[in-house]
Amino acid sequence: MNADKSRNVFFLILVAALGYFVDIYDLLLFLIIKNKSLSALGVPADQITETGLRLMNWQMAGLLIGGIFWGILGDKKGRLSVLFGSIIMYSLANIANGFVTSIPAYAAFRFIAGIGLAGELGAGITLVSESMSKEKRGYGTMLVAGIGLMGAVAAYIVGDLFEWRTAFFVGGGLGIILLLLRFGVFESGMFEKMAKNEVSQGNFLMLFSDRKRFFRYLNCILIAVPLWFVVGILVGIAPEFGKAMGATEILDNGKGVMFTYIGISLGDFLSGALSQVFKTRKKIVFIFITLTFITMLVYLLNTGWTANQFYILCVFFGLFTGYWVIFVTMSAEHFGTNLRATVTTSVPNMVRGSLILLTLLFQFLLARIGIINAALCLAFLTVGLAYIALYNLDETYGRDLNFMEE
């Protein structure tokens, strides 16, 4: 690799990592400040949890739609079009979120922000994967995810130090600043070569027209669902779990999310490095899913948690669910250039969007068997499906990505 190409790749990794940093900041900011913001908007204390889950589902619905939209656009018009368009949308939506005075307006802008946020990670990972050698691209995606996930820490600090409206303004402002860096990024060479061929590009329906391709896509999604069950439910509504488990102090879900994402960032560096050193994606993911499940059981089957014990546990939750970077890299490596952006952009957002179904199922079980048993059922379900999905996926370490889907 010559000096100019090395500099271009380094700059690309830096910009993609910073983009994901802002993406995670905006994505998790609502989870961190939802109680504060909903109280300020006059929502009664006994309705905050229900209202918060409903608003989170609007954001997740936006992510689902945006994941498909930006993915198709990335394969049809190029990866850079997604990097520019998505950041403009979610930056403006977050600035607008700082002005809301009603729950319907709050929901509308979380939905729009969700659509915008859906494009960032997939486009960045696709560009990095296609711009690096097959032996080293795991290190590139590791840096993007590991650095980017620290945006959760920034979200907690800003959300804690400043008024909630200001926290939204900061997120929007960071996005606008990042937009200026994007002008130095180059398009993927694989995309430019593919664009010259007579091949179907960004055809989302191709994922459903072939049975093997569909299950490959579904399995890529299922291996990461346990992560969002941990973040969105086990940590996201920690105060309610604390009451049920006889916690001696209030378990702060905002601080819990921050510590979880510190762990996820460390876990991404660890899992990414291990997958490169041992030249395997699948075995590392299997180990991390197993450790995640053990941590779920430790959390749900114990009582008398203190706040500090909970925050330490959150770090381990994050560390073990830190196979996120391998999951996204595997998604990129499983599909051809003409569908790669569609898959790599939509799959993480399908995982995030799965939280809608998990939340609905959790609420259904909650009313019948209680919060702990409901969570245990979902733990067994999500991890069981993740194991089955991983078993059915191919090992993709070192795979040449210069191929098309027919």
Q: Is residue 406 part of a domain?
A: no
135-160 average pLDDT score: 82
331-351 average pLDDT score: 86
- pLDDT-derived band at 2 (thresholds 50, 70, 90) equals low
Crossing angle (nearest 10°) for helices 282-300 and 371-392? 170
Pairwise CA distance, residues 361 & 188, whole Å = 41
Q: Is residue 199 part of a domain?
A: no
CATH number of residue 306's parent domain: 1.20.1250.20
Neighbouring CB atoms inside 10 A of 262's CB total 20
Residue 188's φ and ψ, nearest 5 degrees, are -65, 130
Show the tokens assigned to 312.
């330490």
Q: Tens of pLDDT along 57-74?
A: 888 889 889 989 988 888
Q: Is residue 403 part of a domain?
A: no
Pairwise CA distance, residues 22 & 173, whole Å = 10
Q: Is residue 15 part of a domain?
A: yes
Of 207, 209, 221, the closest CA to residue 335 belongs to 207
Question: Domain residues for 146?
Answer: 3-191+206-392
Q: Is residue 134 part of a domain?
A: yes
Q: Is residue 229 part of a domain?
A: yes
Write down the pLDDT at residue 261. 86
Q: Is residue 41 part of a domain?
A: yes
Q: Tens of pLDDT along 213-240?
A: 999 999 999 999 999 899 989 998 899 9
Q: Please, what is the average pLDDT of the chain?
A: 86
Q: Is residue 275 part of a domain?
A: yes
Domain count, the chain: 1
- pLDDT-derived band at 109 (thresholds 50, 70, 90) equals very high
Pairwise CA distance, residues 401 & 406, whole Å = 14
Crossing angle (nearest 10°) for helices 371-392 and 211-222? 140
